[in-house]
Structure formats: C-alpha cells, structure tokens
Amino acid sequence: MADRGSIDRYGSDVLSGDWKKPPRGRSEEMVVERGMIVEDATSGFCGEVMAVEKDLGMMILEDRRLKRRSFPLGPGYLVEGKPVVLRPPSAGTQHLATRTASGSRAVKGAKARVALPSRIFVEGRHDAELVERVWGDDLRIEGVAVEYLGGIDDLSAIVDEFAPTHERRLGVLVDHLVPGSKETRIAEQVSGRPHVLVVGHPYVDVWQSIKPARLGIEQWPVIPRGQDWKHGICRELGWPHTDQADIARAWKHILSRVDSYADLEPEFLGRVEELIDFVTVPST
C-alpha cells in the first residue's frame, strides 16, 4: 500500500490538538483562488478550492476523499493554520491570459478554423480530454480534430478505413508503447505506412502522464499485473473505487489538477506536439 503520509496534501488531522479553541490573531483578508487548501474553522472540513461562484458568494471545497461541500465566502476559515477572511476575485486580481495551456501565444478573438481533413486518434476518452485541456485552444485555431478510438485492437482496419493521403494525414497516440507490449505489436502493423504517424508514451494509462506532484504524491503507485489499473490506483490513494462512477470522479479530480503543459511528463508532452506538427504540415 502507498504511504498515506506521502499523499496527505491537506496536512494533519484537523481534529487533533485543541481544535475547539478559536485561532488567535487578527484574520487576514485573502482572495480565494482555485487550488487553495482551506479549512472551515467551525466544522473542521478541510479541502481544496475547486470552484468559486462569485455571483453567489460561494466556493466549493473537495476533501481528500473527493467529497465536496459548498461554503460562503467571508470570515471563519483557516489557510495554513492562520485565520483568514476569504474574498472573491475581482477584476483587479484577474488578468487576460497571454499564453494558452500548451504554452503557445494566445490569439485574442481567434475563431476556430473549419476542421482539416487530417485527424489525431487517441486510445480513450481520458486521453482525448487531457489533450483537449492542454492543447484545445491550439487545435481549434489549427483546425485539427481529436477522436478517441476506445482501444487500438483494430488499428490496422481503422487506418485502412481512414485512407490517409498527403492532404489527409493521420496521427495516432498509443498508450504503453514499450518494447514487447501488445500495443507495440499492434502499432508495428501500421508504422511506416504513407501519411501515418504512430507515436506513444511509456505509461500504462494516460493518468500517469500527469506529474504525480500535481496530486500531492511523490510517485504513482505500482499496481501488480492482472489487477485493474485504475481501480488499483484509486484504492492505493484511498479514493472510492467500487464502480465506474467512482473511477469517473477520480479522473475528473485528476484532470482538474492540470492547468498547463508544465503539469505533464515530457514523454507525453513531446509526443502530442509531434503529432500536431505532423498533421498540420501544409500541403505542397
């Protein structure tokens, strides 16, 4: 089992010590931000700020068990053990992004291009959602559509059906593309075909392409072969893992920790950039 101490990004038990004694000192005013760890001094609920509903004067906190609760902004909270009065972001504290999540220069007012005939295929829904989160703005400007396949067992037939040409290129991103893997054997069947580029990352699942530090852990737990990987990860991290709904909630939480390309491992980041370059090569 994973060392629970290594994944406790919320600190020690909020009920330990003399918790009923009100915190000393004058409360500091603080602008609430997504990702901040906040403790409600009254109930002891401690969690990460997942959203700020400025119009309602509310924020949503999520604790280590992925349980969410809404709280009103204002006094009565602790941040790093210090009493604070939480204020909503104002126009003065917000700024217009000059870079997209992928690190590209943001183009103000840019409209999405009509989709190119070229495509990028990824294995699953989570792969597609991660690519969209980081490269979505760039892909819309370039007119590149990303589709998920639900697995690559029939990759050869999928490529045949797509019928790639110089004007209709196909890029494919494969999970767990390491020597000797099933995925590598399947990819080799189509590698080398004209106007097709198959690349991959070494991770068992795309979840691992997100830097573990973004979840407050030192490394992703190792799940023995033969066990469902995602259920195993949730179990080792102490998250609910009974059914597919639990897995979906876990992924939503993991994805929420990704703000930009800096949150991804280079082995994944580089392969996606390579595919985007390949499918956007101008026709000559």
Rounded to an integer, what distance in angstroms lies between the CA atom of residue 144 and that of residue 117? 8
Same domain, 192 and 55: no
Same domain, 142 and 39: no
Same domain, 156 and 263: yes
| pTM, to two decimals | 0.66
Structural domain count of the chain: 2
Structure tokens at 185: 């054997």
User: What's the whole-number average pLDDT of the chain?
Assistant: 83
pLDDT tens column, 4-43? 333 343 344 433 344 334 445 577 899 998 888 899 998 9
Q: Tell me if 172 is assigned to some domain.
A: yes
pLDDT score recorded for residue 91: 58
Rounded to an integer, what distance in angstroms lies between the CA atom of residue 164 and that of residue 167? 8
Rounded to an integer, what distance in angstroms lies between the CA atom of residue 283 and that of residue 266? 29
Structure tokens at 282: 């101008």
Provide φ and ψ at 274, rounded to 5°. -60, -40
CATH number of the domain encompassing residue 63: 2.30.30
Same domain, 262 and 144: yes
CATH number of the domain encompassing residue 179: 3.40.50
Question: Considering the chain, what percentage of its residues have pLDDT values greater than 70?
Answer: 81
Q: Where are the alpha helices (DSSP H) in the chain?
A: 125-142, 155-162, 182-188, 229-236, 244-256, 266-279
pLDDT tens column, 171-221? 999 999 999 999 999 999 998 899 999 999 999 999 999 999 989 899 999
Q: Are 166 and 139 in contact (CB under 8 A)?
A: no
Domain of residue 124: give its range: 119-210+258-279
Structure tokens at 12: 């020690």
Same domain, 136 and 262: yes
Q: Are 32 and 59 in contact (CB under 8 A)?
A: yes
pLDDT tens column, 235-265? 999 999 999 999 999 999 999 989 888 899 9
For the chain, the distance separating the N- and C-terminal CA atoms, rounded to the nearest angstrom, is: 56
